[in-house]
Amino acid sequence: MPSCVLAYSGGLDTSVILCWLQEQGYEVHAVYVDLGQPCEDRQAILDKAKNLGAASSRIVDAQEELCRDFAFPVMQWQARYEGLYLLGTSIARPLISKVCLQVAREVGADAYAHGATGKGNDQCRFQLAAEALRPDIEMIAPWRNEKFRAAFPGRTEMIEYCEAKNIPIKATAGKPYSSDENCLHISYEAGKLEELTTNGLDLVEFGMGVSPQEAPDKAEQVTVSFESGVPTKLNGKSLSPLEMVNTLNEIGGRNGVGRIDVVENRFVGMKSRGVYEAPGMTVLYEAHRLLEQLTLDRDLAHLRDRLSPEVAELVYYGFWYAAKFDALLSFIRTAQEPVTGDVTLNLYKGNILVASRQSPNSLYDEGIASMEGGGAYNQTDAEGFLRIHGLPLRVQGKVRPREY
């Protein structure tokens, strides 16, 4: 009997797929990669896979790795897909593939199955990561299988299938939007969220915090300390990467930080609508950006900013294990060496306001920057600076006069 590993979440799609794969003759090994999903009962998910007939089922805790080796390097790039999305789901998929392939090697499976649809980005992220790590792996994507789609044209039929087989699921016909959860964020899409006239922030039952309107009427202050671009302390207390993210999720969440509603461009070409919440990472992105203002050289910071959208695209599209991305990760490690210091923020009803920032590597010189007299900067030097920079403009102005 052929065997496969299934990236198993315990949700609607993968519960149906686990049963369907067995009907196709596969021995299925269910792998739940624990990424700190805040709204799920892990033991219930493990038991559910066993009850559905999985040959084996296991939970692999990869939360620390997700924060340390995946989320923090992307944050150091200040990478936001299309200027808004902090890539919480995108970052997690290559790690899920890595863990599933490790299990496949252990149990002797030659196939890797996932529940991503043929319309979405996740199929790209799962498969591109798997092919880079194990080029000979057989990929099983049921949503790209005509026989599977004939049996399950949509979520309604899948819900009915689960009800007929007494498979417990969260999605219902009355609440058909889907969610993806990890310690970095929760994303919500599909169902009524596909109607752009629907107010997504009102419709979704958020799992990581309160709305800005419900947040306290008093600002809460936090101080984040960084060492070479890595957040290491919160309010003076040393925390692991996971502890940092989880604690800031609590603090940011209760202050209404980190909710967005976007229409984005998927890798496969269509536009889609998603609602996201990422309170902890939103705080870290802002604290990191403020510290970089002190510590990064102008030209280095501007180069990083020009490359940042490309990094976001690579992560969003699924090219984590690609040569170009390897090189970009090496670049950011070097660029982040001076990014050490403390940033104090006030969180207030969804807003993040800077209170103070300091660094032993600060390039800010108050004496030079001051509008007051004195200091090491001689304003007369600007005369020659501007004459040199203005030379091409003066030449062009004589040769090709502009109307004004």
Q: Residues with catalytic annotation?
A: 13, 93, 122, 178
In this structure, what token pair is assigned to residue 22? Answer: 């067995």
Paired strand residues for 342: 225, 358
Contact predicate 29/56, CB 8 Å: yes
Going across the sheet that includes 186-189, the strands are 178-181, 186-189, 271-277, 259-265
CB 85 within 8 A of CB 74: no
Q: How far apart are CA 207 and CA 224, in angstroms?
A: 24
**Distance from first CA to last CA of the chain, Å, rounded?**
80
Residue 251 to residue 253: CA distance in whole angstroms = 5
Per residue in 358-388, is it b (16+ CB within 10 Å) or e — as a string? ebeebeeeeeeeeeeeeeeeeeeeeeeeeee
Nearest-5° Cα angle at 210, 272 to 263:
10
Q: What is the bridge-based pairing of β-strands 27-34 and 3-7?
A: parallel
